[in-house]
Amino acid sequence: MNDALFLHRIHFAFTITFHYLFPQLTMGLAPLIVILKTLAIKTGNDAYNKAARFWTNVFGINFAFGVLTGIPMEFEFGTNWSRFSQLTGGVIGQPLAMEGTFSFFLESAFLGLFLFGEKKLGKWGHWCAAFLVFLGSWLSGFFIIVTDAWMQHPVAYTRLPNGMFSVTSFWGLLTNSWALIQYAHNMCGALATGAFVMAAVGAFYLLDHKHDDYGRIFLRVGVVAGVIASMAQGFPTGDLHGKYLAKHQPPTIAAMEGLFKTETGAPMVILGQPDAEHQRIDNPIVVNKVLSFLVYGTTTAEVQGLNAFPKDRWPTNIPLLYFAYHIMVGLGTVMIAVMAAATFLLWRRMLYGARWMLWFILLCFPLPYIANTAGWMTAEVGRQPWLVYGLLRTTQGYSSNVNASNSLFTLLGYMGLYLMLGILFIFIMQREVFRGPEQTSRHSTEAEIQITTA
């Protein structure tokens, strides 16, 4: 493999993976904060307001880290993938610029309003501010998904004589059917992260016998949102996404499932390691006919294996794709199980006393992070060997004027910097969680007074 190409790929993969740890939580928490504000108004219980302030504070910290690590992403298209951005800027420049111009302004504006305007805005005004933060952060995500969806499934474009892509219909680009499905699937994932983190903090408070009232609120909201999000992530969004993938990127789904040869009544591989050289699965545990059923709705349908496609259209790293996909699905299943059990206990009014379950919920908070990351890896590794599926190969898109050594230099720089950022983040989050909602609330009211009297 070409050194420079490989390093440019790792460069983008590393920085985007680290970056997405933060937005998935902010996008997931935003609707939950709206729910807390709604409960505060409906019940008149101020504890919900304090809970909302606590999570807004967590949102704010994650938002800051998301912005800091997000800025490099916008520039990396140009620095590391210059031929790609030169050719496609006429299309995906639109949603990316919209993300920068619109949602970033709106998000930081509304967040400021929400953080510092509680006294001035009144309870409904403040609820609206929370809702706008939610809208802003979800809009932001939409523009990014539109960009990626165009690379997965290009629509509404024409190619100019010099090879450059140019958008022909703005609405066609924004309503790309792939984007809508991918967005729904991705936002369920983000919501799952928000819900699992909220429930985990709640479980921690109850296990620790501190801030018990808040622990119960966090668990209630987190578990209910968590069970809805994890189920919707599988069905219908994940299911639809899979069917769509089978239709438009058949070699990708064959590699994801480890299906080397075309089969009627194709089995689904639950466990096993793909051996790309000998084109077989080692140590397989399979369920017969399930893959045919999942993709086409009947157990007898024929599913195309990798052998149905020329090798230059195969994903370049089949084992990685296979594992990423299986990790996503496996953890997704565990998430549904944990949250379904917790919901049952909540319904039977046994959850707060069931310490074993609280332990489970606490320890499970990394799962949605891992599953979301693995899901994105499935999407992007699965898109290979293309940058724009079927049209532009990855080998044709990187900055050929930036050599491997320079790319490695900045990659190492980001690794070092992000290691420090990660440590700082954990340190700050740990403080906030230990301090608890009562303290956060006092601090944020003070900050508000300082701002408004400034």
Partner 1 sequence: MESIWFILVALMIVAYAVLDGFDMGAGILHLLIARTDDDRHTIVRSIGPVWDGNEVWLIAGGGTLYFAFPVLYAVSFSGFYLPLHIVLWLLILRGIGIEFRTHLANPVAASLFDGLFALSSFLLALFFGAALGNVIRGVSMGADQSFFEPLWTTLLPWGETGILDWYTIFTGLFTVIALMTHGALWVSHKTRGDIRDRASSLADRVLPVLGIFTIVGVPLTVFVRPATVRNYLEYPVLFVFPAVVMMTLVLAWKWNRSGRELPAFMASSTYIVSALAGVAAALYPALLPSSYGSQFDITIFNAAAGSYALRVGFIWWGLGMALATGYFIFLYRMYKGKLQQESMETQN
Applying CB under 8 A, the residues found at the interface with partner 1 are 61, 64, 67-69, 71-72, 74-75, 77-80, 82-86, 88-91, 93-94, 96-102, 104-106, 108-109, 112, 116, 160, 164, 166-168, 170, 399-403, 406, 409-410, 413-414, 417, 421, 424, 428, 431, 443, 446, 450-454
Rounded to whole angstroms, the Cα distance separating 153 from 281 reads 29
**Is-cis flag, bond preceding 236, omega within 30?**
yes
78 versus 366: smaller Cβ distance to partner 1: 78
- Nearest CB to partner 1, comparing residues 77 and 352: 77
Cβ proximity to partner 1: between 61 and 371 the closer is 61
Cα(177)–Cα(336) distance, rounded to whole angstroms? 27
Q: What is the DSSP letter of 403?
A: -
Residue owning tokens 């420090």: 420
- The pair phi, psi for residue 448, each rounded to 5°, is -65, -45
- CB nearer partner 1, residue 283 or residue 453: 453
The amino acid that residue 287 corresponds to is V
70, 44 Cβ separation under 8 angstroms: no
Joined tokens for residue 173 = 């680009």
Q: How many CB atoms lie within 10 A of CB 340?
A: 15
Rank residues 88 and 230 by Cβ distance to partner 1 and give the closer one: 88
Tell me how far, at minimum, the Cβ of 401 lies from partner 1, in Å.
4
CB nearer to partner 1: pick between 13 and 64: 64
Distances from the Cα of 281 to the Cαs of 251, 284, 312, 383, 434, in angstroms? 17, 6, 21, 22, 47
Shortest spacing between CB 163 and partner 1, in angstroms: 12
Q: Please, what is the minimum distance in Å from the beta carbon of residue 192 to partner 1?
A: 27
Work out how close the CB of 389 gets to partner 1 at its nearest, in angstroms, rounded to a whole number: 20
Q: What is the C-alpha end-to-end distance of the chain, expressed in Å? A: 59
d(CA 397, CA 206): 52
Minimum separation from the CB atom of position 435 to partner 1 (A): 10
Beta bridge partner(s), residue 303? 263
Q: Shortest Cβ distance from residue 196 to partner 1 (Å)?
A: 24
Side chain identity at residue 104, one-letter code: F
Give min distance, CB of 384 to partner 1, in A: 21
Neighbouring CB atoms inside 10 A of 3's CB total 12
The full length of the chain comes to: 454
Nearer to partner 1, 56 or 252 (CB): 56
Beta carbon of residue 68, minimum distance to partner 1 (angstroms, whole number): 5
Please count the other Cβ atoms lying within 10 Å of the Cβ belonging to residue 38: 15
Q: Rounded to the nearest whole angstrom, what is the least distance from the CB of residue 422 to partner 1 in the complex?
A: 12
CA distance 166 to 126: 42
Nearer to partner 1, 44 or 416 (CB): 416
Q: Nearest CA to 22 among 82, 68, 79, 63? A: 63
Q: Return the number of the residue (213 or 448) whose C-beta is nearest partner 1.
A: 448
